[in-house]
Structure 1
Amino acid sequence: MRIVACLNGDRRPTAHPALPVSADQLVSDARAAVAAGATEIHIHPRDAHGAESLEPQVLTPVLEQLRTEVPGVPISVTTALSAEPDPWRRYDMIQRWGALPDSATVNLHEPGSVEVARLLIDRRVPVEAGVWTVESTRILAATELAPYVYAVLIEPTQPTREDALNNAAAINEVLDQCDAAPPRMLHGSDDTAWPLLDAALADGHDIRMGLEDTLRGPDGTDAADNAALIAMALSRVSASA
């Protein structure tokens, strides 16, 4: 089972005292998350001002530090438009990446996502296709990307457990019809983060957890940091076994 620590996401630096922003903070958090049981790391690289960035000069040093300090652990990077709102600039930045991540997430509902996915595949970077809706899931089938995608990241954005699970079920129905459906990961955010983690475990999907997805533990209290969230997730994995 993949257990991905999603360290920071698009949250503002002030969202949580332990949110990692700088390269040194990301490396420290990655080490702690792996020690807590994470098998992979997912990051949103940040520039010197704490803003998300896909610029090669931002990504390369972070990847180099992570691979030095956390050797052998796959590193996933976002390509979300939150990091670069202009689809054409985003494509250009990714085309200019020198150091390449072990995988990259691509949200299929975003403009230019199919082109970015194909670029990454051409560059031999495994793509994790983010699907938020049934409509974006159909893009995966209509563009014939499914056989080339490393994994599908099912990301319901509904704020309640019931609505999020209903959306996930509808997405899974579409994925079941794909000829070559890749492995799936299911996750929620904030109030749905823990309920959807439990649903993912029940369905045998891969999981992820971290401050990108929630700032709180299952009991609603503030989480200390990413490592604490991973440890809580692992305790639920053990309980479900």
Structure 2
Amino acid sequence: MVQVCLNGPRGAADGSAVPLTPLAMAQSAAEAVAAGATDLHVHPKTPCGRDSLSPRVVAATLEAIRARVSVPVGVTTGAWAEPDPADRVARVRSWTALPDHASVNWHEPGAESLAAALIDLGVGVEAGIWSGTDAAERFARSPIGPKVLRVLAEVTDTDAPEATARSLLAELGGAHGRPVLLHGEDAGAWPVLRLAGRLGLATRVGLEDMLVLPDGRRAASNAQLVAEALAQYGCAQRSP
């Protein structure tokens, strides 16, 4: 699986290619799926470009995207969108349109309660396990671990991303038997993607994780990143 992460917490300052409105996200999603993406991760945003868990904002984003594509669509539940853990759970329980899955960052306060609320609603949970945090240890002890949809092994190290990725995977161990999606960010994104290909793991690509192509050129769109990712990923899978 190659998931496309359309925008992340990025804003207008990060470039015109980053989709910020529901219609722009829907157009970018359609292009990325046409290029080969099989799953979507998106950050719904207010009109001023801030990540939001508001039921109105989430519904507008999901409706626009689902009018254009039929692949699974996931959203963020990052604490930066709603800092208070109890308010974050309340927001999720008030959603009028449900995503297919939602990411929950396991190092953030209230992660297990939030994951439980999502599962109660029938929403798949992507357990975000960031390198450089105690998330892997906490996830290993969590009774909710076996119930998540998948684990997002998120490599935040951009200096030695491949070594950090291997260390993170070792920390995860069996990951409660759940599938693992491995990805990096910025300068570490492409090396980690190629490692995911060599290891036969799912991965993701998109303007949330990187703004440039492997050769350093600015990416024109999510679709361009997906096409390049599939080429890089496929070559990595075929290499010894």
Task: Give the number of equivalent residue pairs.
Answer: 236
- 1:1-44, Cα deviation, whole Å (9 max, x unpaired): x1111000001222011110000000000000001110011100
Other-structure match for 1:98: 96
Rounded Cα–Cα distance in structure 2 between residues aligned with 1:61 and 1:187: 28
SS at match of 1:69: coil
SS at match of 1:21: coil
SS at match of 1:152: strand
Q: Percent identity?
A: 41
Once the two structures are TM-superposed, the CA of residue 228 in structure 1 deviates from its matched residue by 0.6
Unaligned segments of structure 1, at least 5 residues: none
Other-structure match for 2:166: 169
Other-structure match for 1:35: 34
Counterparts of residues 49-128 of structure 1 (less than 5 Å): 49-70=48-69, 72-128=70-126
Q: TM-score, normalised by structure 1?
A: 0.94
Rounded Cα–Cα distance in structure 2 between residues aligned with 1:130 and 1:151: 9
Other-structure match for 2:146: 147
Q: Which amino acid aligns with 1:84?
A: E
Contact 2:11 2:20 in 1 (8 A): no
Counterparts of residues 197-212 of structure 1 (less than 5 Å): 197-212=193-208
Q: Which amino acid aligns with 1:127?
A: V
Q: Which amino acid aligns with 2:218?
A: D
Contact 1:175 1:181 in 2 (8 A): no
Q: Which amino acid aligns with 1:28?
A: Q
- Are 1:25 and 2:21 counterparts? no
Which of 162, 181, 184 is matched with 1:185 structurally?
181
Q: TM-score, normalised by structure 2?
A: 0.94
Contact 2:165 2:192 in 1 (8 A): no
Other-structure match for 1:196: 192
Once the two structures are TM-superposed, the CA of residue 225 in structure 1 deviates from its matched residue by 1.0
Once the two structures are TM-superposed, the CA of residue 138 in structure 1 deviates from its matched residue by 1.4
SS at match of 1:20: coil
Unaligned segments of structure 2, at least 5 residues: none
Runs of 4+ in 1 over 3 A off after TM superposition: none
Once the two structures are TM-superposed, the CA of residue 181 in structure 1 deviates from its matched residue by 2.2
Rounded Cα–Cα distance in structure 2 between residues aligned with 1:118 and 1:170: 28
Cα RMSD of the aligned pairs, angstroms, is 1.3
Contact 1:76 1:105 in 2 (8 A): yes
- Are 1:9 and 2:5 counterparts? no
- 1:68-124, Cα deviation, whole Å (9 max, x unpaired): 221x21001000012222222211100111111000000000011111011111111
